[in-house]
Amino acid sequence: MDADLRLKQLVDEHFGRVAAYLLSRTDRDSAAEALARTLEVVWQRLEDVPSEPLPWLFGVARRVLSDQWRAQGRRDALMVRLTEAEDMRHRERVHEREEGVDAALDRLVAVHALNGLADSEREVLLLIAWDGLTAREASRVLG
């Protein structure tokens, strides 16, 4: 029998039941995708189809659906990992912003405290803290 004719006969006689089988096990879109993939496998392995094809067709459809579920599980796991990684990056950015705010507040407090000192006191502190001089060196700078 011609391959096209054999495939048409299989589809006409059995694919309604294969579709019902798939629909009883998954949602409509997944069943349609599995049915199309099952048809593709049947076309590729047309010579392997036994004389009683329905159990064989159900087996192919079952394996196709199982493959879809595994693939979906991998996609779901990847999405969870990506979401967790994005959440971690977000928390790190928030923490960095908080540290930046803390540092800015510390600078503001320091500037306010420095502004409250006399000019000579401020200069001594800056020579020691920012320029790395000792107290003796700072006093020599200021005479």
Buried b (16+ CB within 10 A) or exposed e, 35-58: bebbbeebeeeeeebeeebeebbb
Assess whether pLDDT exceeds 80 at residue 38.
Answer: yes
Average pLDDT over residues 39-65: 94
Whether residue 106 is contained in a domain is answered as no
Whether residue 103 is contained in a domain is answered as no
Assess whether pLDDT exceeds 90 at residue 28.
Answer: yes
CA atoms within 13 Å, Cβ hemisphere of 77: 6
Whether residue 120 is contained in a domain is answered as no
Give the DSSP H or E segment for 1: none
Whether residue 39 is contained in a domain is answered as yes
CATH of the domain at 87: 1.10.1740
Paired tokens of 107: 């600078």
Whether residue 75 is contained in a domain is answered as yes
Q: Range of 22's domain?
A: 3-94
Whether residue 115 is contained in a domain is answered as no
The 10s digit of each residue's pLDDT in 80-129 is 888 888 888 878 887 778 787 778 888 888 888 888 888 888 888 888 88
Domain count, the chain: 1
Whether residue 36 is contained in a domain is answered as yes
